[in-house]
């Protein structure tokens, strides 16, 4: 009888240990992606359909956000117009959302060094990502590493268009190599924000098979390409927070072994952040 009890106890312990080991080894991380918000604070109500807005995004964030998720923005979140009051207002409220990575796009730089240093660097310095910056005076990060539930995700942000920094795929390959050679490629997930085109994104995935996904930072057309065989994706969330991308990354033993993705329409979400909208109305009235 004692022997049977010991056997049952050992069997139970083995089951518990196996379950605990499997739980640690197998994880699913939800990645939420915005981009090209273009300083849209509230629905302008200037078209036949509803528009996206920071107010709608804030409502969705408050309903959805969990600590184990990863939230990222692909850049160009400020308006391209030189309205410092508007952009300052946007930064103040956007920074309240607990984003893990914020890639810098062209529109974040066109307002000048003073605005960049006094507002972006002061509000969200630890999140700003720009891999191939040639301005050492701006303390932005070339790579961001995010850890969740025992897995790791690496982020790079590459500008690849002629008027930006790199002009051809050879330069991009060299840049990617310089940032990935000293980091274990066999574990975790590599995700690249790309200020470029879809063909270049496809080329990067073919050249660097360890890269899990490309997030298009300057593509204003929403799109999603999911390759379940290669376990990779190319995603563009569109503009003005009309949609948000959700990518489910499934890891086993630290490696990505499954991906699911979708674009979620935010335009039907009510703009519930009354304080944001009230403050924005006061701002717009003061500027008129």
Specify the higher pLDDT residue, 82 or 145. 145
What pLDDT, on a 0 to 100 scale, did the predictor assign at position 22?
44
235: in domain: yes
Using the structure block, give the residue that is written with the tokens 């927070």. Answer: 241
The answer to whether the beta carbons of residues 215 and 194 sit under 8 Å apart is yes
Q: Which residue has the higher pLDDT, 203 or 48?
A: 203
In a domain, 145, yes or no: yes
pLDDT given for residue 20 in this prediction: 46
Task: Determine the pLDDT at residue 162.
Answer: 43
CATH number of the CATH domain containing 96: 3.60.21.10
What's the confidence (pLDDT) of residue 99? 96
pLDDT in tens, 259-284: 999 999 998 888 776 788 888 888 88
The pLDDT value recorded for residue 163 is 37
- Is 86 part of any domain? yes
At residue 9 the predicted structure's pLDDT band, cuts being 50, 70 and 90, is low
Classify residue 37: in a domain, yes or no: yes
Let me know if residue 14 belongs to a domain.
Answer: no
* Whole-number average pLDDT of the chain: 83
Higher pLDDT, 54 or 48: 54
- Mean pLDDT value of segment 146-175: 75
The pTM (predicted TM-score) of the whole model is 0.86
Tell me, yes or no, whether 11 lies in a domain.
no
**Range of the structural domain that residue 238 is part of:** 26-287
| Residue with more model confidence, 52 or 151 | 151
Chain segment 50-103, per-residue pLDDT in tens: 788 899 999 999 999 999 999 999 999 999 887 889 999 999 999 999 999 999
Pairing of strands 189-195, 223-227: unpaired
Lowest mean pLDDT among 43-47, 210-214, 250-254, 283-287: 43-47
Task: Using the predicted structure, report yes or no on whether residue 168 has a pLDDT greater than 70.
Answer: no
Per-residue exposure over 248-266, b if at least 16 CB sit within 10 Å of its own CB, e if not: ebbbeeeebeebebebeeb
What b-and-e string marks burial along 181-208, b requiring 16 or more CB atoms within 10 Å of the CB? eeeeeeebbbbbbbbbebebbebbbeeb
- 236 has a pLDDT exceeding 60: yes
Return the pLDDT at 122. 87
Query: Which pLDDT belongs to residue 191?
Result: 94
Pairing relationship of beta strands 189-195 and 151-159 according to DSSP bridges: parallel
- Residue 1 domain flag: no
Domains identified in the chain, total number: 1
16 occurs within a structural domain: no
């Amino acid at each position: 009888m004692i022997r049977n009890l010991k056997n049952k106890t050992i069997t139970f312990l083995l089951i518990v240990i196996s379950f605990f080991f499997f739980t640690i080894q197998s994880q699913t991380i939800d990645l939420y992606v915005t981009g090209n918000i273009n300083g849209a604070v509230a629905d302008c109500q200037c078209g036949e359909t509803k528009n996206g807005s920071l107010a709608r995004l804030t409502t969705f964030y408050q309903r959805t956000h969990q600590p184990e998720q990863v939230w990222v923005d692909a850049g160009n979140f400020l308006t391209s117009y030189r309205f410092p009051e508007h952009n300052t207002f946007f930064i103040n409220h956007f920074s309240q959302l607990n984003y893990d990575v914020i890639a810098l796009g062209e529109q974040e730089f066109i307002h000048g060094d003073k605005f960049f240093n006094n507002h972006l660097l002061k509000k969200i310095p630890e999140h700003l990502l720009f891999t191939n910056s040639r301005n050492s005076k701006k303390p932005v990060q070339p790579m961001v590493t995010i850890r969740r539930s025992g897995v790791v995700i690496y982020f790079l942000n590459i500008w690849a268009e002629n008027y930006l920094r790199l002009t051809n795929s050879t330069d991009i390959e060299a840049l990617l190599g310089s940032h990935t050679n000293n980091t274990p490629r066999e574990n975790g997930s590599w995700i690249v924000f790309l200020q470029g085109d879809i063909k270049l994104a496809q080329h990067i995935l073919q050249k660097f098979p360890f890269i899990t996904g490309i997030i298009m930072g300057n593509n204003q057309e929403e799109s999603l390409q999911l390759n379940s065989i290669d376990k990779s994706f190319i995603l563009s969330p569109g503009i003005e927070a009309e949609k948000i991308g959700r990518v489910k990354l499934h890891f086993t033993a630290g490696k990505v072994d499954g991906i699911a993705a979708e674009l979620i329409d935010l335009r039907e979400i009510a703009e519930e952040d009354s304080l944001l909208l009230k403050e924005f109305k006061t701002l717009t009235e003061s500027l008129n």
